[in-house]
Amino acid sequence: MKLISWNVNGIRACLKQGFADIFASFGADIVCIQETKAEASQVDTSLFLPEGHSAYWNSARKKGYSGTAIFTRFAPVNASFGIGIEEHDQEGRVITLEFNDFYLVNVYVPNSREGLVRLPYRMEWEDAFRAYLLTLDAKKPVLVCGDMNVAHEEIDIARPKTNHMNAGFTDQERAKMTELLAAGFVDTFRYFYPEKHGAYSWWSYRGGARDRNVGWRIDYWLASKRFAPRLAKAEILHTVYGADHCPVSLDIRC
């Protein structure tokens, strides 16, 4: 089974950048996207979604902001939206699909923003989201994907020294990722490539950062540790354009 995760930075904008052709090229069974910046009624899924696939949307209450969606060839047992906490469920950040033998969670983690004005909220979110995942993990294994808005280690960012304590590379955010992994999850890309440098999934639009590969790895596929024997391949699809992020993929054994 092939799974894709991609922060498209606006699905309507990405459609104008070739999203339909890119979607077809994936050949994926499940595609999860973040930062949709749209409601389901604003997107003509017939432009890219094959017949027989299902779409699940979780849009923010604020128009044109945040949001997540999942497009799947396999019908889930159940679908849920948010993490069950009103404070955290207003921005369309989480969709969970339950399948027979695992949960799939698509997430767009809040950005701490310039000046770290939202870092305190981000810390609350991290604890609540981790607790939510552990509740699921107690029932069956979990796959988590999405823009997690943190470069976990120095290897995950091109310029760690100059970005230290900037949003996405604060000690606090990195510690929360460490805590999540320690709670029983595997960073699937590092599972296959523990020492690979220069592997990034987001680049600033400024200064030709992508051409120079001055980037950050902030998009992930995580898996419950006991799911690790089913991991077949993890990739960062850095040659795919259309947004400031590139897709990240995971192949699993059925």
Q: Single out the catalytic residue among 137, 147, 156, 219.
A: 147
Q: Is 121 a catalytic residue?
A: no
Amino acid at 126: E
What H or E segment, with its residue span, contains residue 177? helix 171-182
- For the chain, the straight-line distance linking the first and the last C-alpha, in angstroms and rounded, comes to 7
Q: Single out the catalytic residue among 108, 132, 200, 220.
A: 108
Question: Are 62 and 91 a contacting pair, CB within 8 Å?
Answer: yes
Produce one character per residue of 200-214: b if its CB has 16 or more CB atoms within 10 Å, e if not.
bbbbeeeeebbeeeb
Q: Is 108 a catalytic residue?
A: yes
Q: What angle do CA 247, 189, 158 make, to 5 degrees?
A: 75
Please give the Cα distance from 228 to 206 (Å, whole number).
37
What H or E segment, with its residue span, contains residue 143? strand 142-147
Active site residues: 108, 147
